[in-house]
Amino acid sequence: MAEAILKRVADGDALAVQECLKRYGGLVWSLARKMLRNSDDAEDAVQEIFVDVWKNAARFDETKSSETTFIAMIARRRLIDKIRYSTRRISADSLDDVLLEPFTRADKTLEISIEAEQAAEAMRKLRPEQQQVLRLSIVQGMSHQEISQATGMPLGTVKTHARRGLLQVRELMGLNNDAQEVGA
Amino acid sequence: MKAEEKELLYDLLTKRVIYGLDAEEQAELNSFDPDVVEAEFRSLEIAAAAISMASLEVEPMPEHLAASILENAPSAGQPALEPAAPVFTAADVFNKSPRTSILGWLGWGVAAVLLVVLGLDVYHDRIEPRMEQAKTVEQPPQQQPRVLTPAEQREQLMRSAPDMVSASWAPGNMKDMQVSGDIVWSDAKQAGYMRFHGLPANDPSKATYQLWIFDQTQDKATPIDGGTFDVDATGDVVVPINPRLHATKPEMFAVTMEKPGGVVVSKREKIAVLAKVETQKS
């Protein structure tokens, strides 16, 4: 069954460890590359993320989220920590690419998770400024200050777009408050 | 909760989900009902994780990194599940000491099973080949089956697939394209082939061709990625189709020219050829 790898990891199934890496390695690696923008940092982070995955495998509850999203949550927590304690900042010359990047989701992302598909659909319903702020902050890891400088939006407006946009996406995705718990 | 308090709560939660909080902000968040905070945080975190995946172009993890992670997984006697795992003795095991946590056992269990797997790998990689070598001394060498060319594979598919659809290439929006050929596809086999005559050779270091499958089950704006391919100087090629998703009812195919490695989102600025499905063999 597609969503059962973490249960098997938690149950001590050795092959599941390999399967988990095979299935989610690309996802975690790509998230790290996208947010950290440095291969060396990404490699360190990915190793730490998978240690977190092994530790938290037993906490996965398939009634709360897909396995893919659960692993993405673990990955994001570690990556956010990395960004907070590093001096990494997005380079100015890549800003144009970031800002011009369309949010049209191609079929490749359809296979990632149901939640990803729902989020993409929800994002398309947001105001363009909200989409932009969420994309730059959540996907690219840019700070509110950096987004303000890059887009010319006042800092307060950036924060408002982030808050309202995220809440709206959550609502459009139909997520209630009884959501997945990931260990610290 | 007052409107200002609610706004502050969601400001803090949004920041926690996207960036994490510093000590001062965390203290501020702690002033709210912890049950409300955690419940709100969890659902917002799922939304953020989903957003981060929604536009993600997934690349394969480098092999050396995967190997390194596997080495440090709870498989090589280094129990990652409990970094400070205690050393167990036989007495601990038989007395079922409370120090023996489930996670600790899980680590050892996984290690033991993976050692067996590793042993099997060694067997397959080192011992079995030697046994095979020994066999070849005693037995006459067997002929390797010939690998079919893509053209032959196409013919085989044409003969065996009950639901073949086909379409002929028409010009796209790239100038000076004199391309002919066709594309065939079987839903049942999830396989197909493209034939081209006259498709210009590409420099793989600068650009590649990419197939897009417009399936009736997919939004037109998000066609299925049919894989990338290169064309050598001859311009006569048969290319197998490698769709990233299950294609069920293709109605049109397009080949675009993209950057090396292909793209997730095509701007469709360079469409080499297009093909609309014309026939369906029942």
Q: Distance between CA B30 and CA B15 in Å, rounded?
A: 14
Q: Do B197 and B237 meet the contact criterion of CB atoms below 8 Å apart?
A: no
CB-count burial class (<10 Å; 0-12, 13-18, 19+) for B240:
middle
pLDDT tens for each residue of A33-73 = 888 877 888 999 999 999 999 999 999 988 888 899 999 99
Tell me which of B18, B41, B59, B217 to substitute to probe the interface with A (most A C-beta atoms closer than 10 Å): B18
Asked whether the predicted pLDDT for residue A106 surpasses 70, the reply is no
Distance in Å, alpha carbon of B57 to nearest chain A alpha carbon: 7
**Can you give the pLDDT at residue A89?**
40
**Can you give the pLDDT at residue B91?**
30
Query: ipTM of this model?
Result: 0.84
pLDDT tens for each residue of B58-78 = 888 998 999 999 887 875 334
Spatial neighbors of B94 by CB under 8 A, at least 6 apart, are: none
- Mark yes or no for CB contact A51/B80 under 8 Å: yes
**Can you give the pLDDT at residue B279?**
52
Q: Distance between CA A12 and CA A74 in Å, rounded?
A: 20
Q: Which residue among A83, A102, A111 sits closest to B244, beta carbon to beta carbon?
A: A111
Confidence of residue B218 (pLDDT cuts 50, 70, 90): low
Question: Which residues 84-143 in chain A show a CB within 8 A of chain B?
Answer: 84, 101-113, 115-120, 123, 134-135, 137-139, 143
Could you tell me which chain A residue has the CA closest to the CA of B227?
Answer: A108
Confidence of residue B146 (pLDDT cuts 50, 70, 90): low
pLDDT tens for each residue of A8-41 = 998 888 888 989 999 999 999 999 988 887 788 8
Crossing angle between the packed helical segments A155-172 and B34-54, to the nearest 10 degrees: 90
Q: Distance between CA B238 and CA B92 in Å, rounded?
A: 65
Within 8 A of A107 by CB-CB distance, chain B residues are: 218, 222-225, 244-245
Whole-number Cα distances in Å, B160 to B54, B134, B150, B153, B211 = 38, 39, 15, 10, 24
Asked whether the predicted pLDDT for residue B219 surpasses 80, the reply is no
pTM over 0.90: no
pLDDT tens for each residue of B225-272 = 888 888 887 667 899 998 777 787 888 899 999 888 788 777 777 888
Q: Which residue among B20, B61, B223 sits closest to A80, beta carbon to beta carbon?
A: B20
Q: Do B218 and B191 meet the contact criterion of CB atoms below 8 Å apart?
A: no
Domains by residue range for chain A, with CATH: 1-88 (1.10.1740.10), 90-176 (1.10.10.10)
* Phi, psi for B279 (deg, rounded to 5): -125, 155
- Mark yes or no for CB contact A27/B58 under 8 Å: yes
